[in-house]
């Protein structure tokens, strides 16, 4: 078990910035799309969905990610990070 220094604890507990939030939102969207695709593949393979249901799903607008979604994602990532004992790598400073 590793011991974190005060600098590591402070860096790990800081709020996510806009870039982090965008990355989290894109990650959540990609993960949801993969899960949806897998569910569709399974349902189609098993003959669960009718043509009418598939047409309704395709025509339904895709909801946007809300602030609540981002908060949930942040909580999930923090929990996963804690459970896996991961430490974030220091970010490189942007050069102008």
Task: Classify residue 87: in a domain, yes or no.
Answer: no
Give whole-number Cα distances, 35 to 39, 60, 73, 84, in Å. 6, 17, 16, 22
Q: At what angle do helices 67-84 and 18-45 cross, to 10 degrees?
A: 90
Percent of the chain with pLDDT over 70: 69
Task: Classify residue 32: in a domain, yes or no.
Answer: yes
pTM: 0.43
Domain tally for the chain? 1
**Domain span at residue 74?**
16-82
Task: Classify residue 96: in a domain, yes or no.
Answer: no
Question: Which tens digits make up the pLDDT trace of 17-58?
Answer: 888 888 988 999 999 999 988 988 888 889 888 888 878 877
Task: Classify residue 4: in a domain, yes or no.
Answer: no
76 sits in which H/E element:
helix 67-84
Task: Classify residue 45: in a domain, yes or no.
Answer: yes
């Amino acid at each position: 078990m590793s011991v974190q220094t005060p600098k590591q604890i402070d860096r790990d507990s800081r709020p996510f910035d806009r870039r982090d939030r965008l990355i989290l939102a894109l990650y959540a969207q990609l993960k949801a799309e993969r899960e949806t695709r897998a569910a569709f593949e399974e349902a189609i393979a098993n003959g669960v969905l009718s043509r009418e249901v598939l047409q309704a799903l395709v025509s339904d607008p895709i909801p946007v990610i809300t602030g609540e979604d981002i908060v949930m994602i942040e909580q999930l990532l923090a929990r996963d990070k804690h459970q896996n004992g991961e430490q974030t790598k220091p970010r490189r400073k942007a050069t102008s």
